[in-house]
Structure 1
Amino acid sequence: MKHNPYKIVQMFEEEVAEYTGAPYAVSVDSCTNALFLCCKYLSIKEVTIPKRTYISVAQSIIHAGGRVLFEDLDWNGIYQLKPYPIFDSAKRLTSQMYIPNSYMCLSFHIKKHLKIGKGGMILSDNKDAVEWLKKVRYEGRKEVSYEMDDINLLGWNMYMTPVEAAQGLMLMQNLPKHNPDLVEVYPDLSKFSFFR
């Protein structure tokens, strides 16, 4: 009998979904790739983000085929990739935080609330999107053994490993019910030559 090592990943996703109040959670290898996959799913065009944020957010938009516009916006913990229902939630992880009809992207970087070291998550209530996201994060594969699958969709190698998910499950046991938003000062991305 073969065991499915990705069952632990599903368990971690279920735990994060329950904690955040999201109907579904899709684990990936980083918040950057969570944002990228959401942008690809929604076929983004022009996206407005704060000019002071992490550089990979702007790069994810561009890699997904979009154009980045910057706005002078102070934000704390979370902001929207306007006009799309995608939220960079890398600095927020607290109970019942999910915003209905959205795609909220979490980070499990060592500087974040759930310090796995690497990893991210997409919170959503869109079942069709979740099915697509789960396949494309894993080279177009389903959550079954390789020999039992029929690949019919082009994907990326952006999945969370069972080891990272197991660590996340352990860390969830000590996560407080409510966490304050994390604060960090970022440089003005609009000043970099690439974005001019």
Structure 2
Amino acid sequence: VANAANPIRKVVTMLQAMQSKVSQEGAKEANLYKKFMCYCTSSGSDLASSIEAADAKVELLGSDIKKSEEQKAQVDAALKQAQEDRSAAKNTMTEATAIREKEAAAFAAEKAEYGANIDAMTKAVAALEKGMAGAFLQTGSADALRKLAKAGSSPLADDDREQLMAFLEGKQDSGYAPSSGQITGILKQMGDE
């Protein structure tokens, strides 16, 4: 039995192998622990400074946010005011345009009336100068002159108006011809004014 392997020897060999393995793992763990402690020591200060910088930024960013919110509020208020002003300006322009259109229509009507009156006076003067007063009194131009003289808006003196109305209504004698020069003068004066 001397040649046979001793069973205790196997257990001892196995325990020695385990001891060697545990020693190697312990050395490895000790080395990793040193590195970890070095990392914690060196990065701890870096983390602390990073945290301090972030805290400082928080304060700055907080004030920047407040400033930005105030500026936004001011811009919003200015925008609202500008929109109100724009709306008011549009309303004013619409009202002014309507007024100008009414004024333009009134002016066009007045211009047409004045043009018709001037045309009637021109025809009356031409008819009187040609000695055709009777024929003229039967035209539409004579009616226009009657309306103008009756309106009172013409700058005629009362006696001139009466003479013109008498002429236009045909209330003159056959011997009225000498007065036609005076009527012509009245009509020319009205046309000039």
TM class, shorter-length: under 0.3
When normalised by structure 2's length, the TM-score is 0.22
* Structure with a larger share of its residues in strand: 1
* Structure with a larger share of its residues in helix: 2
When normalised by structure 1's length, the TM-score is 0.22
